[in-house]
Amino acid sequence: MPYIEDPDDLQWYREQFGDIWQSATLTFSSVEVDGVQIPNGELEFSREPGEESTEVLYRKGALSIYEVNSNSPFNLLEQIIDGEIPADEGKAKIESELRRHNPSNYFQDGVREGRVRETRPRMEINAAVSIDVPEDIEDEYSEVVDELDDQLMRAEEPYYDLGRCEGYYFDYIFRSDRENPAILLFADSGMEFSIDDSDTLEVVSPTSLFEDLFVSVLPQKPYDEHKGWQIEFDEEQLESMEDGRSRYTEELHLEDIDELYAVLYLEDEMVNMVEHNTGDVVPENPRYEIMQAFDQDNNLEGYLEGHNADYFEVAVVNALSTAGWLVQWYGDDSFVIPSFSEDVPRAQYQEIDVIAYHPENTQILFIECTNQDISEKEQILDRTEAISSVIDDYHIPTDIGLIQPLQTVPCVATPQKPEELNDDVVSEFEEKGIEILHSERLRAIYAASQDTTDTVDADTQFIEVI
């Protein structure tokens, strides 16, 4: 999506969006230190006209909350960039600078949850105006902010004095980095992009932008059977709207395409992407959805590749359990169970890190996790054989015959990539029946778990992946 990164950009935005953006609302909190107001909040552009107004929402001690409404949004933005942020008359101006802003760190766009609002449109122009705190008051400003933060921590209600200040009392913390105050800019681009159930593409945009817009259609399923194509907009097919925008519609002939991605571009900038399913939608594995909800930065896959040695073993546990395996974790140092060794009952305890069993499978995985050279982990075979002999006693006859014997599979899990493994060691482990779960295999097990609501077919998954 386009960004306002420089005051010189404003002329381009005036030309493209002057008829779209009718008003702007500046809501900000301001901490006063030695007569200097340090603001922090947001400027939101709207396609709806408003009423000119300036209001003090709250004032107590060093903190004030303001709301400024303007029907000249660009003039208000230029005023902020010039360091003339509206506040009490007679207050000293402070320096400010327009810069690019990454919205994913601040608000929820349907995937990531941030700290501003949860109702932001995915397509919007955005930027930030950085506020420079004068050096001579930096320390005192920090002290005042700490005092206000302490009031929040000790407050009986979630937001101190919430009712009186209409929810904005501590926005100076939540709107941006508390040590680097900023006015965040959000402006609805006026663009709409969708494909409906009848496979009709609809694009709504400011009319002047259509000459630089195009859609890239990328079929996904069935795999490798269809090539993508590009849709450019013929001006004669545009339907004019009353608010300076135009609408384009086209019926897509998708035939046997079950799933596709459609990406809207403004020149070389991706504006938005939609996923469209035409066939039966296969819901994701709920365990995978839960993991993705918690792991929004995809850290798990990085841990499986050894990005943090301390988390590798836990990552293996989570990858298997997400894929439907029933996992017992014995590698935690705080959890010690008796050794299976009968020859030396008082021998120093040696655990197997992870034991995993799948309800739809006869395999039991005995996994030793290591960040060392895997050739040092041959002792796993002895321990696996000892446990296997115990499991053999549990084959219970029934009226329909014997339960299928369980197959114990000794494994060594390592964050190493296949090319990093020693060929001689790999051959030796294969001869001994020890499977090596390197990072690519672990990631494949985890990735395979996202496509089904049923427990993953462990025989297919494990054997094919391994």
Residue 250, pLDDT above cutoff 60: yes
What pLDDT sits at residue 339?
54
What pLDDT sits at residue 112?
36
Q: What is the pLDDT of residues 313-339, one digit of tens each?
A: 999 999 999 888 899 888 776 666 555
Paired strand residues for 98: 129
What pLDDT sits at residue 193?
93
Name, in order, each residue with C-beta under 8 angstroms of 100's C-beta and a sequence gap of 6 or more. Answer: 3, 5, 127, 128
Cα 78 from Cα 72, distance rounded (Å): 10
Residue 380, pLDDT above cutoff 60: yes
pLDDT band at 458 (very low <50, low <70, confident <90, very high): very low
Q: What is the pLDDT of residues 357-366, one digit of tens each?
A: 887 777 888 8
Q: Is residue 19 a contact partner of residue 206, using CB atoms and an 8 Å limit?
A: yes
Cα 398 from Cα 171, distance rounded (Å): 67
Q: Which range, 133-137, 185-189, 212-216, 345-349, has the best average confidence (pLDDT)?
A: 212-216
| Mean pLDDT for all residues in the chain | 76
Q: What is the pLDDT of residues 42-62, one digit of tens each?
A: 888 988 888 899 888 778 788
What pLDDT sits at residue 179?
73
Name, in order, each residue with C-beta under 8 angstroms of 459's C-beta and a sequence gap of 6 or more. Answer: 360, 361, 363
Higher pLDDT, 325 or 153: 325
Percent of the chain topping pLDDT 90:
17
What pLDDT sits at residue 145?
83
